[in-house]
Amino acid sequence: MAQTLFEKIWNRHVVQEFDDGTTLLYVDRHLVHEVTSPQAFEGLRLTGRLARKPELTFATMDHNVPTTADRGTILDPVSKAQMDALSTNCEEFGVQLYGLGHDRQGIVHIIGPELGITLPGLTMVCGDSHTSTHGAFGTLAFGIGTSEVEHVLATQTLRQKKPQTFRVTFTGSLSEGATAKDMVLKLIGTIGVAGGTGYVIEYAGDAIRDLSMEGRMTVCNMTIEAGARAGMIAPDEKTFDFIAQIDRPFAPKGEALERAVANWQTLPTEDGAEFHRELEVDASQIAPQVTWGTNPGMVTDVTGKIPDPQDVPGCNPNDVQKALEYMGLEVGKAITDLSVDTVFIGSCTNARMEDLRRAAKVLDGRKVSDSVRLLVVPGSADIRREAEDEGLDKIFTGAGGEWRFAGCSMCLGMNPDQLKPRERCASTSNRNFEGRQGKGGRTHLVSPEMAAAAAIEGHFVDIRDWMKE
Amino acid sequence: MDPFQNFRGVIAPLDRSNIDTDQIIPKQFLKSVKRTGFGESLFFDWRYLADSNPDPDFVLCHDPFQHAEILVVGNNFGCGSSREHAVWAVLQFGFKCVIAPARGNGHDRVPGFADIFSNNSVKNGLLTIELSEAEVNSIFETVAGSPGAEASVDLASQTVTIHGTSDRVLSFEIDGASKETLLKGLDEIALTLQSEAEIAAFEQNHETYLP
């Protein structure tokens, strides 16, 4: 029977199937960061267990790290204790750590692919919901809780119920001004924040094939915001070219790579394979998206208006009312009339070279509005160097923005980069939840070019208008 | 993990959908390296005013809900971040069970709970119960009419009994694996380590592409 990409990878990793319907699944790669791992290592210690295959686990520090030049000194003692705990745990259990100060440090979902840890056909997990990012390589990758982190460390497996499959086909081509971010926001707005629950989503279609690896990572990254733990894209020549680049220490090389590629070419979903659910989206009709509410499904075209709570399909009017109150928004106001105080370009969703290049293109030769603070935070130390080699840092600082060091930064306020109460932010991150970027902060999710344009004008603009000029 | 015990407790209503784990336990509390001490910070931004005093308008800040053991919420509870701290906070407040409604059918079905939150719950002994929207609405009505209303939860028979002038018995579904884990308080890692021979055999023939 014809198989899907997901089924092929799942079947290759079944260690044991149990009568209760669960499967013991082998885990090929385990990523770890400082926030969701300390209790897992402590659990091993308390039970006298060892890490079974420490060479398959890789750690970094990203959530707590400051992004300013003086970040070698961590002022918050609680953050410092958590980072120190990761260093101690990695040393004790034999896990490789890309900590603060390491020249390959970065956001966990950005350094995985950069280091060649992320490869097609593998299973990959991390105590972080945005692990779905790695599915862009044709990897089965999903977020887990801390108990499962401990389970993976101890056994290199996970006990799982097999999810169902859902194919989303983006037909046609994106129009100018629309990006991978807009594709995934449009999808979440269409199926809702729980629309993917219980499924693994495979993305297909011409508009997906046309995306760079960076764009594919953006789409897979936000799959969890639709409730699906994993998003996947079949590997192709773009995937193999990305992996073959020279600075990927954990990727196969030479003949080993050729053998691997031959294997990976057998992964794509076969003609006639069946999915539990299918959806087609016409990519050519996707406009730049802006979220207005307090979850990523509360989203509209940039040409849209703040909706009436009674008129939001799939949402409880009371929930919409609460969201509008939190966001400080009036019904009927045009999105382009919303002014912003802060613009954040960064996060595991949009802090890769392509994202920075797109933002820089908009900012080049322009000035950030006097009323706006612009933060540009590269996803990794590698990206920071590459951007500086291209002179992008000069464009950001020349426009009046701040150019920072790698970390999760303002995507979630676990480090010094935070919004103040009632501050409104155009953000390239992934979650507009209440308080996510700082207590009382108001987040609008957008693409890097939309964020850059908002920084210049001090309010949202339809980036497509600038492209006509 | 302790086996799940049947119990009778006060129901606390929190009628919002898509309550994400950032609301259940905000980011600043994730810096702890411990598994304990999260109960006081449950729903922190909703529960406390700017001056750190409890917000009297928030349900869990006043009697009889301060001692509630059953939390009833809107659908897709626990969406967003994978932080297990959310489950620890719910348990450490004193809840033993969360009830949420599933809405719609087929592709339009919206579940009561997000996937990762459900998984994390089972591993910590927190029972998540999905009921129909009508059933959950009836619980909200009962509690609105009689704050402090109680319910009894029986996992073995898969029932929730809402106590009132006349008791209402509601049945719920749960997958066999989760039910057994909860009832026996199983240590999943110890269980998997019994498959050591199978894991070792699998590794013999498995390519992980590590140089």
Using alpha carbons, select from A365, A388, A466, A346 the residue that is nearest to residue A65.
Answer: A346
User: Where in B91-192 does DSSP place strands (E)?
Assistant: 97-102, 127-132, 150-154, 159-162, 168-171
For residue B114, the SS3 value is coil
Please return the burial class of A54, using the count of CB atoms within 10 Å of its CB with bins 0-12, 13-18 and 19+: middle
- Among candidates B31, B198, B207 on the partner chain, residue whose Cβ is nearest the Cβ of A82: B31
Using alpha carbons, select from A323, A298, A313, A337 the residue that is nearest to residue A454.
Answer: A337
Nearest CA in chain B to A253: B211
* Contact between B84 and A39 using a beta-carbon 8 Å cutoff: yes
Chain A partners within 8 Å of B16 (Cβ)? 318-319, 322
Using alpha carbons, select from A164, A170, A172 the residue that is nearest to residue A184.
Answer: A170
Give A293's DSSP letter: S
- Among candidates A154, A250, A434 on the partner chain, residue whose Cβ is nearest the Cβ of B211: A250
- Among candidates A147, A225, A435 on the partner chain, residue whose Cβ is nearest the Cβ of B26: A435
pLDDT at B211: 84
- Among candidates A78, A197, A260 on the partner chain, residue whose Cβ is nearest the Cβ of B115: A197
**Model pLDDT for residues A311-358, shown as the tens digit of each residue:** 998 889 999 999 999 999 999 999 999 999 999 999 999 999 999 999
CA distance A36 to chain B (A): 7
* Contact between B180 and A434 using a beta-carbon 8 Å cutoff: no
Q: Using alpha carbons only, how large is chain A's radius of gyration in Å? A: 21
Backbone angles phi, psi at B107, to 5 degrees: -65, -20
pLDDT at A468: 76
- Among candidates B16, B85, B210 on the partner chain, residue whose Cβ is nearest the Cβ of A250: B210
Q: Pick from A155, A199, A266 the residue to mutate for testing the B interface (most B CBs within 10 Å).
A: A155
> What CA–CA distance (Å, rounded) separates A89 from A97?
10
**Model pLDDT for residues A75-115, shown as the tens digit of each residue:** 999 999 999 999 999 999 999 999 999 999 999 999 999 99
Q: Judge contact between A97 and A185, C-beta under 8 A.
A: no
**Residues of chain B scoring pLDDT < 50:** none
Give yes or no for residue A469 having a pLDDT over 80: no
What is the secondary structure of A347-371 as a DSSP string?
TTTS-SHHHHHHHHHHHTT----TT
pLDDT at B107: 85
Using alpha carbons, select from A314, A291, A133 the residue that is nearest to residue A222.
Answer: A133
CA distance A397 to chain B (A): 29
- Among candidates A24, A194, A434 on the partner chain, residue whose Cβ is nearest the Cβ of B195: A24
* Contact between A193 and B18 using a beta-carbon 8 Å cutoff: yes
Kindly state whether B121 is in contact with chain A, defined as any CB-CB distance less than 8 angstroms.
Answer: no
pLDDT at A151: 98
* Contact between A249 and B211 using a beta-carbon 8 Å cutoff: yes
> What CA–CA distance (Å, rounded) separates A226 from A199?
10
Kindly state whether B33 is in contact with chain A, defined as any CB-CB distance less than 8 angstroms.
Answer: yes
Chain A partners within 8 Å of B83 (Cβ)? 35-36, 145
CATH superfamily of this structure's domain B7-205 = Aconitase, domain 4 (3.20.19.10)
Chain A partners within 8 Å of B84 (Cβ)? 36, 39, 127, 145-147
> What CA–CA distance (Å, rounded) separates A152 from A128?
14
Backbone angles phi, psi at A136, to 5 degrees: -60, -20
Nearest CA in chain A to B75: A194
Chain B partners within 8 Å of A252 (Cβ)? 209, 211
Kindly state whether B150 is in contact with chain A, defined as any CB-CB distance less than 8 angstroms.
Answer: no
Mean predicted lDDT score pLDDT of chain A = 97
Domain boundaries, given as residue ranges, for chain B: 7-205
* Contact between B210 and A56 using a beta-carbon 8 Å cutoff: yes
**Model pLDDT for residues A174-230, shown as the tens digit of each residue:** 999 999 999 999 999 999 999 999 999 999 999 999 999 999 999 999 999 999 999
* Contact between B199 and A414 using a beta-carbon 8 Å cutoff: no
Length of chain A measured in residues: 469
**Model pLDDT for residues A434-451, shown as the tens digit of each residue:** 999 999 999 999 999 999
Chain B partners within 8 Å of A322 (Cβ)? 16
Length of chain B measured in residues: 211
* Contact between A56 and B208 using a beta-carbon 8 Å cutoff: yes
Cα B12-B15-B20 angle, rounded to 5 deg: 100
Residue A277 β-bridge partners = A166
Beta strands B70-73 and B97-102 are parallel
ipTM of the complex: 0.96
pLDDT at B108: 85
* Contact between B83 and A35 using a beta-carbon 8 Å cutoff: yes
Kindly state whether B72 is in contact with chain A, defined as any CB-CB distance less than 8 angstroms.
Answer: no
CA distance B148 to chain A (A): 24
pLDDT at A152: 98
Sign of CA dihedral A195, A199, A205, A208: positive
- Among candidates B45, B124, B192 on the partner chain, residue whose Cβ is nearest the Cβ of A439: B45
Query: What are A187's two structure tokens?
Result: 């999808």
Nearest CA in chain A to B84: A145
* Contact between B115 and A229 using a beta-carbon 8 Å cutoff: yes
Nearest CA in chain B to A116: B210
How many Cα atoms within 13 Å fall on the side-chain side of residue A130? Answer: 22
Kind and range of the H or E run holding B13: strand B7-14
pLDDT at B158: 98
**Model pLDDT for residues A22-51, shown as the tens digit of each residue:** 999 999 999 999 999 999 999 999 999 999
* Contact between A127 and B82 using a beta-carbon 8 Å cutoff: yes
* Contact between A197 and B192 using a beta-carbon 8 Å cutoff: no
Please return the burial class of A330, using the count of CB atoms within 10 Å of its CB with bins 0-12, 13-18 and 19+: exposed
**Model pLDDT for residues A261-289, shown as the tens digit of each residue:** 999 999 999 999 999 999 999 999 999 99
Chain A partners within 8 Å of B20 (Cβ)? 295, 431, 433
Q: How far is CA A142 from CA A10, A228, B81, B170, in A?
A: 13, 9, 12, 34
CB pairs under 8 A between A and B: 204
pLDDT at A443: 98
Q: Judge contact between A184 and A222, C-beta under 8 A.
A: yes
Whose structure tokens read 């979902």?
A: A109
Q: Pick from A109, A166, A197 the residue to mutate for testing the B interface (most B CBs within 10 Å).
A: A197
* Contact between B33 and A431 using a beta-carbon 8 Å cutoff: no
pLDDT at A314: 84
Chain A partners within 8 Å of B74 (Cβ)? 316, 319
Beta strands B97-102 and B127-132 are parallel
For residue A212, the SS3 value is coil
